[in-house]
Structure 1
Amino acid sequence: MSGIPSTPGSGTDFSSSPLKRTKIVLLGDQSVGKTSLITRFMYDTFDNTYQATIGIDFLSKTMYLEDRTVRLQLWDTAGQERFRSLIPSYIRDSQVAIIVYDITNRASFLSTSKWIDDVTSERGKDVMIVLVGNKADLSDKREVTHDEAAAKSDELKIMFMETSAKAGHNVKSLFKKIAMNLPGMEKDGQATDAQNTKIDVNTSPANEVPEASSCNC
């Protein structure tokens, strides 16, 4: 006797759906370190030679967190003015926008306002915006204080963090924090206040952020 035929798909768990991709676009002026942040996060490396990003590039990475797995799609955009016309189409379907400035370049910080405006005009409130001050290893050349940037993020109610792609400081923490605060990802369905939590590198032990003589990326 052959027994009862199994129904199609018996023993298969259909509850697990394919990983939803989260599109993260990095924006900011030229040479603030957008590509270097992605390279540090993806490969844990840093290239001292600066090469301007031409147009748009993207990479994907799966993050395995304590209670979830998230597929991040990182879009690297060119900071040069001549590529600005390309940017809106890439912002349009993004879930997260990381606005990067260089803490040693005040003009790049002032430019974050226009980048944030670009994002909100395309996405409204349906996007997580993160302000990132890169090159924290060059704090002796700082032109933008941590408090000033934190105040701006408080006013706009967006996440803020200082990083160093060169030293690897806060880069993984940045993307983990984003992943943990993605819309609809709150644990037990409860929103957290972590989205606006500031990480102050000034209160960290000095040896956590190695000094570097130069960082052009």
Structure 2
Amino acid sequence: MNQIQSYKVILVGDNKVGKTSFFIRITKNVAPRQPQSTIGVEYATKQVVFKELIINLKIWDTAGSEKYKSLTSNHFHQSQGALLFYDLTDLYSYENLQFWLKDIYNNADDRIVIIIVGNKLDLIHDGVELRCIAQEKVQQFCKAKNLLYCEISTKTGEGINELIDQLAQNLQARKVSQDVLQQRPRQNCCT
């Protein structure tokens, strides 16, 4: 297990959807306690093992505030992955996914792996009526846009390992398919 792959992953979404809590949990391995809103961008690396590879996830926690939009959008360039967060109990944050997707598509690589992340699953367990939109509807939205979907709780840690596994698997699959495309012989259009 000596091969190392590195991928730049951005955390995107509105304020207070749990991006920084996720960032703290996976990079410092602690449950977050009332994190402050991100100003601009924060960066850390998380190393995971996937099959026979060591994968370095270079994670960029971006501010969700509109006033930092131009600063954070610049960090979308050369990202291989994006975790697009919304709060499972906040319809407004779900509706803003369209805005964030447009920003990602305008500023990132066309082949970026995007996972929609519904956070605050612990609140849904406490009261199903708190869910702002049916899970099936979100899954249909993701399927129509060829996006992946995962629900987590940064508070309890539920679903986070599965999300990281799904991210690593899809980033690696993207790289393998990209390598295959680059190895194909070029077709001569005149033959």
Band of TM-score, shorter chain: 0.7 to 0.9
Name the aligned partner's letter for residue 53 of structure 1: T
Q: Which residue of 1 aligns with 2:5?
A: 20
Name the aligned partner's letter for residue 78 of structure 1: A
Q: Which residue of 1 aligns with 2:78?
A: 93
3-state SS of 1:131 partner: strand
Q: Which residue of 2 aligns with 1:204?
A: none
Q: Distance in 1 between matches of 2:61 and 2:31?
A: 16
**Aligned 8 A contact 2:82 2:115 in 1:** yes
Matched, 1:67 2:52: yes
3-state SS of 1:20 partner: strand
Counterpart of 1:184 (choices 175, 183, 188) is: 175
Matched, 1:159 2:148: yes
Matched, 1:82 2:82: no
Unmatched segments (≥5 aa) in structure 2: 181-191
Measured after TM superposition, the shift of residue 44 of structure 1 is: 2.9
Measured after TM superposition, the shift of residue 127 of structure 1 is: 0.6
Q: Distance in 2 between matches of 1:146 and 1:40?
A: 24
In terms of fraction of residues, the more helix-rich structure is 2
Instruction: Give CA-to-partner distance per residue, 1:124-153, whole Å, 9 cap, x none.
Output: 522111100000111122112211211110
Measured after TM superposition, the shift of residue 176 of structure 1 is: 1.4
**Aligned 8 A contact 2:5 2:54 in 1:** no
Unmatched segments (≥5 aa) in structure 1: 1-15, 190-217
Q: Which residue of 2 aligns with 1:147?
A: 136
Q: Distance in 2 between matches of 1:114 and 1:161?
A: 19
Q: Distance in 2 between matches of 1:185 and 1:67?
A: 14
Q: Distance in 2 between matches of 1:144 and 1:40?
A: 26
**Aligned 8 A contact 2:84 2:114 in 1:** yes
Name the aligned partner's letter for residue 79 of structure 1: G
Q: Distance in 2 between matches of 1:122 and 1:96?
A: 12
**Aligned 8 A contact 2:81 2:112 in 1:** yes
Instruction: Give CA-to-partner distance per residue, 1:146-181, whole Å, 9 cap, x none.
Output: 112111101101110000000101112101111111
Number of residue pairs the alignment of both structures matches: 171
Counterpart of 1:126 (choices 90, 104, 111) is: 111
- RMSD after superposition: 1.6
Matched, 1:106 2:84: no
Q: Distance in 2 between matches of 1:21 and 1:124?
A: 16
Counterpart of 1:171 (choices 157, 160, 170) is: 160
* Normalised TM-score (structure 2): 0.84
Name the aligned partner's letter for residue 46 of structure 1: A
**Aligned 8 A contact 1:25 1:96 in 2:** yes
Structure showing greater radius of gyration is: 1
Q: Distance in 2 between matches of 1:174 and 1:185?
A: 20
3-state SS of 1:175 partner: helix
Instruction: Give CA-to-partner distance per residue, 1:94-152, whole Å, 9 cap, x none.
Output: 00011100000000000011101111112352211110000011112211221121111
Q: Distance in 2 between matches of 1:23 and 1:126?
A: 13
Matched, 1:44 2:33: no
**Aligned 8 A contact 1:44 1:168 in 2:** no
* Normalised TM-score (structure 1): 0.74
